């Protein structure tokens, strides 16, 4: 039985349509658009003012997009003054480690620190009976 050749999709899911992308036909820019919407939605959820538009977000992250992540040496976007809105003059890219240190200082000033035990629970667990 001969192997069937798969035709290229010209419709439906999985087919990229750069002509209808809101951010333009550039795929690099398109990869940033959904994370931008997520940042904006998260700010709205936390009831923080968000005055940044996509072009400002793109200018900030352009060239650094591949350096973001979950490790301590990856870049994150944070506000300089946490009481001010998310705006171009109040945003900076720093490493996650620096951001966690700033956040700890800020939380201590507000008195919102949480002391947690590390490792196993301090309470003994009861053994399961079979």
Domain boundaries, given as residue ranges, for the chain: 18-110
51 within 8 A of 41, measured Cβ to Cβ: no
Count other C-beta atoms under 10 Å from residue 38's C-beta.
Answer: 10
Flag whether the pTM goes above 0.75. no
Helix (H) or strand (E) holding 75: strand 75-79
Average pLDDT, the chain: 80
pLDDT digits (tens, 9 = 90+) for 23-80: 777 777 888 888 999 999 999 999 999 999 999 999 999 989 899 989 999 999 999 9
32 within 8 A of 53, measured Cβ to Cβ: no
Closest CA to 97 of 130, 129, 81, 75: 75
Over residues 80-86, the mean pLDDT reads 89
């Amino acid at each position: 039985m001969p192997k069937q050749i798969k035709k290229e999709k010209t419709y439906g899911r999985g087919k990229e349509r750069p002509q209808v992308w809101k951010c333009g036909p550039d795929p690099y820019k398109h990869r940033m658009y959904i994370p931008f919407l997520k940042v904006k939605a998260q700010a709205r959820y936390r009831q923080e003012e968000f005055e940044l538009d996509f072009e400002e977000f793109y200018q900030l992250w352009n060239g650094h997009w591949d350096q973001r992540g979950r490790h301590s040496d990856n870049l994150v976007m944070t506000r300089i003054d946490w009481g001010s809105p998310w705006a171009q003059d109040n945003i900076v890219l720093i490493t996650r480690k620096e951001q966690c240190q700033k956040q700890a200082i800020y939380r201590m000033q507000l008195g919102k620190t949480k002391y947690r035990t590390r490792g196993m629970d301090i309470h003994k667990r009861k053994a399961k009976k079979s």
